[in-house]
Amino acid sequence: MSETSIVETQEPLQEGMAGVVSDFSSDKQSFHVHWGKAMMWIFLLSDTFIFSSFLIGYMTVRMSAQDPWPLTSEVFALSMGGEPIPLLLIAIMTFILITSSGTMAMAVNMGYRKEKKKTFYLMLATAILGASFVGMQVFEWSKLILDEGVRPWANPMGASQFGAAFFMITGFHGMHVTGGVIYLLVVAFRVKNGFYERRGNDYSIVEIAGLYWHFVDLVWVFIFAFFYLW
Amino acid sequence: MSYVALVDRDHEQDHHDPDTFLTKYVWSQDHKVIAIQYGGLAILVGVVALVLSVLMRLQLGFPNEFALINPESYYQFVTMHGMIMVVYLLTALFLGGFGNYLIPLMCGSRDMVFPFLNMLSVWVYFLSVIILIASFFVPGGATGAGWTLYPPQSLSGGTPGTDMGIILMLVSLGVFIVAATMGGLNYVTTVLQYRCKGMTLMRLPLSVWGIFTATILALLAFPALLVSAIMMILDHSVGTSFFMPAMISEGQQLSYNDGSPILFQHLFWFFGHPEVYIVALPAFGLVSDVLATHARKNIFGYRMMVWAILAIGGLSFIVWAHHMYVSGMNPYFGFFFATTTLIIAVPTALKVYNWVLTLWQGNIHLRVPMLFAIGFIFTFIHGGLTGLFLGNVTIDLPLSDTYFVVAHFHMVMGVSPVLVVFASIYHWFPLMSGKMFNETLGKWHFWLTFLGAYAVYLPMHYLGFQGVPRRYFSLGTTDFLPESAHTLNASITISAIILALAQLLFFINIFISLRNGKKAKPNCWGATSLEWLTPDTPPKHGNWGHDLPEVHRWAYDYSVPGQSQDFTPQTVPASEVPVGRDHGVDHDT
Ligand code: HEM
Ligand SMILES: [Cu+2]
């Protein structure tokens, strides 16, 4: 093959490992995706390291704490009809967040089909689910703070690191969700206004926002496992 | 459906030029202007750190002669000096400065992928610098915890700056991380997704590889610092006990309990060690290009150089606890981390061999950039060898926290990268400004800096063996130190002052060259890489005029046999000049 022909032919995409190699040895771009999407992936990789550091920090202080760790199934129980049901609220919150990932995935699909209206409503639904997650988190925090006397520096049930790690990590995650809700709303209304229609009818941004949203969801699963189930 | 590369749609975009002074130079989204803003600001804070180091040296060389410097302020100077040099000068200068300037030009693109984000990055960096400098002026002054900020002493009484200083330092670091992330996402995405036609990854100049890999390290290492900063702020201001154990300070039982100071050290060095390579890898890349250009030879073992950069980058994440041999870790950890540390020396040594082999039988032009680049090889070998000693647990135990360590890290991550900074500034100055610098002044600057650095740091190795401890305000009279150690300290201080003053030559040179320098010819060094091939010198907004360049070969076709000129730019087609050695996609050539 001569020197110039390689760069001029638009090679057909290859499968599997060969595809990875050919992508990485190609000119112009290494991934056949939108700039924004590539950037979002890289950002999420970086964000993964943030949450991993948080969780590792939490595990370490949990081990270094001398006082007993509060029993999560009791602390996070919710009374229903006089009976405490462990982890009820968290189960609902988790369910809501997972559902919102579903609506988001549908929104991405509709975005690719250029169905403006459906994309908008599905994104709106995702944002509302996200907002209600944050609302429940506020409820949970206030219950812990007001009713059970949990503080970042101390709590009546045991190790003070419990409150510290809990408020820090769920707070940081909650901020991610809140930011995500705002981001989704901005994109949703731009979809509705035809902003993307005027720009080459390109709805990739819906998918990019979706990536972020799924990530925030995934992180929650880890927080859930490490904090509430352990 | 595959996504169409944006370079292929170049003509659909409109590249309207900014026209007012504000949009051109202040709120500019042009990567070249942003690069100069980043670099200029970094050098400015760097000067602050330099002045601090001279103040420290005055105290060390002539104890208690200067009323301005008392034990508290000495600690503040140590801390601010170290932090500024590592983070706010070198990281910002290499990634924000050189990264911004060179990546789009060397990749053959018009700008970074998201110019607006890029502009935000520099302004957020500016904010972080303001917060940092503000900490000098708050009640209690700047923090004096050492640049490693280890708790519990960074938060407990007796250390200067525990009320406001430490908070401002942590907040400033957090803001810096935001800035570095915004910039870093841009650099990585630009290298991956926005290269011109024919520019494969394996045809990129090593500068781009070094900066690219360092940026990835930054994106993965800064999170640990961010998290530890957040946790420390909470410990300080909210009263949590992440890092703070139960302790008695100044006769008072503090309200902390059961925190883990070692956790902080792990998080810090998980950031801190890659940080060393965030500073070193760009230097490796840049110096490779300077060496090849001024030796008129292709870089020796290009492919090996790329893989070495990547290997060092990867390994740098599993060596961090070699900074913690004396922290009371499990000894088996020490064994593990000593092993990985020594393994990382393999790709590093490989790079050094390749630089030397690049010079071997080259047509070496000892111009100012080349002098600095060769100086770097010396200082880096020197600092690297002492690193091999410190990497071994048994040797590190007695040397830890002595001046041997100070000498080691200044050689390897202070002097060496700074020499590359100067090499690169002199090398690319004609391109950036369109003017030539003054050779004579530049040569004086080099020799004073190079010899000055040795006069300062070589004796410190000896002091370290004598047992002079690091971070001490004053040694007083000690039995184990001979009188000559004090004389040596005075001599180091005098050298340091000369070294610091020599940097004025650099600023004078830049200043007069900008005003009265000879006009630089386009591609004045006869280089092959794209940044020298722009239609205008210095390149205009959008870099390439109407058409993007097209690349046909790697960046190191120097002295191809049988050619009339000793360099073949990357844009020359293979039909005109045979490709000297191509590491592009085509394996048949
Ligand atoms: C003229 C140039 C320089 C001089 C004279 C100088 C001098 C010093 C001195 C006297 C100390 C304190 C030693 C102690 O008391 O323990 C120090 C610490 C330090 N320096 Fe430099 N330095 C210079 C350049 C640099 C550069 C370019 C870097 C960039 C990496 C750097 C990084 C550090 C660090 C990280 C520390 C440790 C701070 C700490 O212990 O917390 N220095 N330097
Ligand atoms: Cu290290």
Half-sphere exposure of B252 (CA within 13 A, CB side): 7
Give residues with Cβ within 8 angstroms of B408, minimum separation 6. B383, B386, B387, B390, B461
Q: Interior CA angle at B223 toward B222 and B228, to 5°?
A: 100
Please state the pTM of the whole predicted model.
0.94
B356 burial (CB, 10 Å; 0-12 / 13-18 / 19+) is middle
Report, as an integer, the average pLDDT of A96-102.
96
Query: Looking at residue A184, what is its pLDDT?
Result: 97
Measure B276 CA to ligand 1 centroid, in angstroms: 14
In chain A, alpha helices (H) = 3-8, 16-24, 35-64, 72-75, 88-112, 116-142, 160-193, 195-198, 204-223
| A8 pLDDT above the threshold of 50 | no
Taking contacts as CB-CB distances below 8 angstroms, the residues of chain B near A47 are 223
- For residues B209 and B306, the answer to whether their CB atoms sit within 8 Å is yes
* Proportion of chain B above pLDDT 70, given as a percent: 96
A152 touches chain B (CB under 8 A): yes
Half-sphere exposure of B302 (CA within 13 A, CB side): 23
| A194 pLDDT above the threshold of 50 | yes
A30 touches chain B (CB under 8 A): yes
d(CA A84, CA A191): 44
Q: In this structure, which residue's CA is closest to atom 40 in ligand 1?
A: B146
Question: Which residues have their alpha-adjacent CB atom under 5 A from ion ligand 2?
Answer: B 273
| A23 pLDDT above the threshold of 50 | yes
ipTM over 0.85: yes
* Lowest-pLDDT choice from B78-82, B279-283, B393-397, B453-457: B393-397
Q: Return the structure tokens found at B160.
A: 């200067």
Half-sphere exposure of B509 (CA within 13 A, CB side): 22
d(CA B195, CA B570): 13
Report, as an integer, the average pLDDT of A76-89.
82
* Lowest-pLDDT choice from A221-230, B92-101, B510-519: A221-230
Nearest ligand by distance to the CA of B341: 2
Query: Looking at residue A12, what is its pLDDT?
Result: 61
pLDDT band at B16 (very low <50, low <70, confident <90, very high): low
* Lowest-pLDDT choice from A166-180, B152-166, B276-290, B366-380: B152-166
Q: How many angstroms separate the CA of residue B462 from the nearest CA in chain A?
A: 39
Q: Return the structure tokens found at A143.
A: 């219950």
| B433 pLDDT above the threshold of 60 | yes
Q: What is the pLDDT of residues B141-193, one digit of tens each?
A: 999 999 999 999 999 988 999 999 999 999 999 999 999 999 999 999 999 99
* Proportion of chain A above pLDDT 90, given as a percent: 68
Query: Looking at residue A11, what is its pLDDT?
Result: 54
Q: Interior CA angle at B493 toward B489 and B496, to 5°?
A: 135
Taking contacts as CB-CB distances below 8 angstroms, the residues of chain A near B113 are 35, 39
A85 touches chain B (CB under 8 A): no
Query: Looking at residue B152, what is its pLDDT?
Result: 93
pLDDT band at B65 (very low <50, low <70, confident <90, very high): confident
Report, as an integer, the average pLDDT of A123-137.
97
Q: In this structure, which residue's CA is closest to atom 11 in ligand 1?
A: B78
CB atoms within 10 A of CB B300: 21
Query: Looking at residue B3, what is its pLDDT?
Result: 62
Taking contacts as CB-CB distances below 8 angstroms, the residues of chain A near B257 are 66-67, 160
Report, as an integer, the average pLDDT of A191-200.
90
Q: Give which of B87, B96, B180, B73 is closest to B132, Cα–Cα.
A: B87
Report, as an integer, the average pLDDT of B129-136.
97
| B465 pLDDT above the threshold of 80 | yes
Measure B372 CA to ligand 1 centroid, in angstroms: 20
d(CA B440, CA B505): 10
Report, as an integer, the average pLDDT of B308-334.
94
* Lowest-pLDDT choice from A100-114, B79-93, B474-488: B474-488
Query: Looking at residue B104, what is its pLDDT?
Result: 97
Query: Looking at residue A7, what is its pLDDT?
Result: 40
pLDDT band at B13 (very low <50, low <70, confident <90, very high): low
Report, as an integer, the average pLDDT of A85-101.
92
| B84 pLDDT above the threshold of 90 | yes
- For residues B181 and A43, the answer to whether their CB atoms sit within 8 Å is yes
pLDDT band at B585 (very low <50, low <70, confident <90, very high): very low
d(CA B486, CA B64): 13
Q: Alpha carbon A6 to chain centroid distance?
A: 40
3-state secondary structure A132-152: HHHHHHHHHHHHHHHHCCCCC
Measured between CA atoms, the residue of chain B closest to residue A26 is B200
At the topology level, CATH places domain B33-242+259-576 in Cytochrome C Oxidase; Chain A (1.20.210)
Query: Looking at residue B436, what is its pLDDT?
Result: 96
B199/A27 Cβ within 8 A? yes
Report, as an integer, the average pLDDT of B312-332.
93
Q: In this structure, which residue's CA is closest to atom 3 in ligand 1?
A: B53
A7 touches chain B (CB under 8 A): yes
**Largest Cα–Cα separation, chain A:** 80
